[in-house]
Structure 1
Amino acid sequence: MHDFVVNVQNRVLSVVQSVLQQNAITADLHPESRLVDIGLSSIGMVELMLKVEAEFDLILPHLEITPENFQSVKAMERMILNQLGSGSG
């Protein structure tokens, strides 16, 4: 189970770094970094949501598409683990 969680963490981090790079944002990214604080726009957030869905082959329920769930890498990890039915946080 620990390997699964680490795999999700690494994949989320990779997706976020990819979106930041596409948006020409260079920042020191940490799991708790607030993505809006490092410069990700609302359009970048939509792009991020779509890439997360593609990466994990899932469709996020509308109730899960909230600013809170996309505020940081850590928040996205929790949301994805819950969607995959494997996480309690």
Structure 2
Amino acid sequence: MQSAIFASTTIVPFHAMYGVEMQYLSASVQDRVLFVVRSVLEQNAITADVHPESRLVDIGLDSMDMVALMLKVEAEFDLTLPQPEITPENFQSVKTLERLILNQLGPGAG
């Protein structure tokens, strides 16, 4: 019976798994950031087409919305953004937020 279990097991090199896992993590972070941005827009009845490169102020987010976005990002990713990282540059777009989050999650995250 044990041989049947081992016969169906596929061995994948660690480096191959690691690369796919990191790509998934990055895509997952971007999707989650898009979801959070869209939820802030929806709360404010703002209809906008959001892409990773979309400038958040251009799609209708004001300073109060940015605070809400920051809090939702922290909740979504279960982290606290360090004060020096809460800058207009890091909150320009989904892409800049994704980069900020990946940096906060650590070197193995992306």
Using the size of structure 2 for normalisation, the TM-score is: 0.77
1:5 maps to what in 2?
26
Pairs within 5 Å for 1:3-82: 3-82=24-103
Match of 1:27, SS state, is: coil
5+ long unaligned stretches in structure 2 = 1-21
Q: Percent identity?
A: 75
Q: Deviations over 1:30-67 (max 9, x none)?
A: 10100101111100000000000000000000011001
The alignment yields a C-alpha RMSD, in angstroms, of 0.7
5+ long unaligned stretches in structure 1 = none
For 2:75 and 2:27, locate their aligned partners in 1 and report how far apart those are by CA, in whole Å: 19
2:14 maps to what in 1?
none
For 2:89 and 2:99, locate their aligned partners in 1 and report how far apart those are by CA, in whole Å: 11
Q: Which amino acid aligns with 2:31?
A: N
How many pairs align? Answer: 87
Using the size of structure 1 for normalisation, the TM-score is: 0.95
For 2:68 and 2:48, locate their aligned partners in 1 and report how far apart those are by CA, in whole Å: 18
The structure number with the bigger radius of gyration is 2
For 1:84 and 1:17, locate their aligned partners in 2 and report how far apart those are by CA, in whole Å: 22
For 2:92 and 2:76, locate their aligned partners in 1 and report how far apart those are by CA, in whole Å: 18
For 2:23 and 2:41, locate their aligned partners in 1 and report how far apart those are by CA, in whole Å: 27
Q: Which runs of 4+ in 1 moved over 4 A?
A: none
For 1:21 and 1:58, locate their aligned partners in 2 and report how far apart those are by CA, in whole Å: 23
